[in-house]
Amino acid sequence: MADIVINNISYNDVPQVQIPKQGGGTASFVDASDATLDSGGKLLKDVTAYAGTTKYTGTIETKTSTDLSASGATVTAPAGYYASNATKTISSGSATAPGTISGTSASVSTGTNVLTLTKTVSVTPSVTAGYISSGTAGNASVSLSATVTTKAAATITPGTSNQEIAAGTYLTGKQTILGDANLVAANIKSGVSLFNGAIVGTLSAATISQDSGTKILSIS
């Protein structure tokens, strides 16, 4: 509100002055001395307003979705006035694994009758630029391990039943299967086969007979 002086008469806190117009009607004047328009920086472009006796023309540009720009995962909205929501579509990306695979040297650890081989492999997906809805693809490290049964050094003595070393067993020591110089055909009863025919006995056993009359024993 302003103080108005007309014909040397003061009128205090006058919000508005109305003056009759030639031809009828009135012109209204308000106090705009306290208006702050920041040289038009707070008005839309081509919109005008007065602050005091100064006329200002707006400079704020009107923007739409077409003004948005995208670079990678960043969308830039330039300064301006948006009359409605503005959106920008980013092209979809993809990640296809594996792209490249690299690994470190395998490590070996041992336990009781167990050997464990471990190898770490790094998998890097092949990625095309864009938005990936399921998340951001990155490198992954995978540890691969295999456990093998081991058998320490041992001496195997042939017997009446088979003695087996299971398939896939890793021998950590020498396995000795005993032999014997006496295991020859001449020391085995004639007709007896050992080791599925590997050795067939040739030793003939003595025949003992007794005379029924004299009771004398004969060995032949």
Q: What domain range is 18 assigned to? A: 2-62
pLDDT band at 15 (very low <50, low <70, confident <90, very high): confident
Half-sphere exposure of 191 (CA within 13 A, CB side): 2
The pLDDT of 101-129, averaged and rounded, is: 71
The confidence score (pLDDT) of residue 105 equals 64
Higher pLDDT, 90 or 2: 90
User: Are 172 and 119 members of one domain?
Assistant: yes
Locate 184 and state its tokens: 């020859």
> Is residue 180 within 8 Å of residue 156, measured between CB atoms?
no
pLDDT bracket for residue 110 (50, 70, 90): low
Based on the structure, what is the number of domains in the chain?
A: 3
Residues 104 and 174 placed together within one structural domain of the fold: yes
pLDDT above 70 for 95? no
Q: Are residues 100 and 171 in the same domain?
A: yes
12 in a domain, yes or no? yes
* Other C-beta atoms lying within 10 Å of the C-beta of residue 37: 19
pLDDT higher than threshold 70 for residue 150? yes
pLDDT surpasses 80 at 37: no
| Amino acid 140: pLDDT | 64
**For residue 19, pLDDT beyond 70:** yes
Last residue of a domain, one of 14, 46, 62: 62
Specify the higher pLDDT residue, 154 or 6: 154
* 80: confidence class by pLDDT, cuts 50, 70, 90: very high
- Rounded to whole angstroms, the Cα distance separating 163 from 145 reads 30
Task: Establish if 35 belongs to a structural domain.
Answer: yes
Domain stops at, among 38, 62, 86: 62
Q: Which tokens belong to 164?
A: 């087996």
- Residue showing tokens 């896939």: 168
